Amino acid sequence: MPLGISLTHFEELMLHQDTSAYPASCFLRLQFHGRLLRDEFESAAKTTIARHPLLHSIAEKQGRSYVWRAGVVAPEMTWTDGGDLPNPKIERLDIRTQHGLQFHVRLHENRTELLIHFHHSCCDGIAIYQVIRDLLIAYAAEFPTNKTYSCQRSTKRC
């Protein structure tokens, strides 16, 4: 993304309506059987964020309006291990000083909870699901493809 792309009217509206009392946040919580592997997941997150420039950009004031300034692809993540821990403290995302995406991963003995926090200016609606799709595909791509996987349904192999 070239530097200095103007925010759309909608993106700027979400930026101005964003307050501590009414944050412009979108959340998605995913639950998985098994535990996410940290290195592979972080690599998948970097791959995904690189494909979606607004997720690694900051809204910078330029004159009377704002422009997107692309930054380093460095996903913000917290990892906790243990089911009895309290939920992560979620702070408001200020896209004037930080990227508009955070991951909160909570590992349990045999499952994983993933909370993804988006700023509404960066991603909304169907785009959130496109990002999740890209993330899951990138995570799957982190594993060797030379293994053969099979399952059994009654007598048929699939």
Q: If DSSP states are collapsed to H, E and C, what string results for 120-138? A: CCCCCCHHHHHHHHHHHHH
pLDDT band at 20 (very low <50, low <70, confident <90, very high): confident
42 pLDDT higher than 90 = yes
pLDDT class of 4 with cuts at 50, 70, 90: confident
- Strand ranges (E), the chain: 5-6, 25-33, 57-62, 65-70, 76-81, 101-107, 111-119, 152-153, 156-157
With a cut of 90, say whether residue 154 has pLDDT above it: no
* Res. 79: pLDDT tops 80: yes
Residue that wins the pLDDT comparison between 90 and 133: 133
Task: Single out the residue of 24, 32, 38 nearest to residue 80, CA to CA.
Answer: 38
Mean pLDDT of 69-94: 84
Range with top average pLDDT, 79-88, 97-106, 117-126: 97-106
The count of domains in the chain is 1
Full residue range of the structural domain in which residue 121 is found? 5-157
Residue 83's domain is classified under what CATH number? 3.30.559.10
Contact 118, 76 (CB under 8 A): no
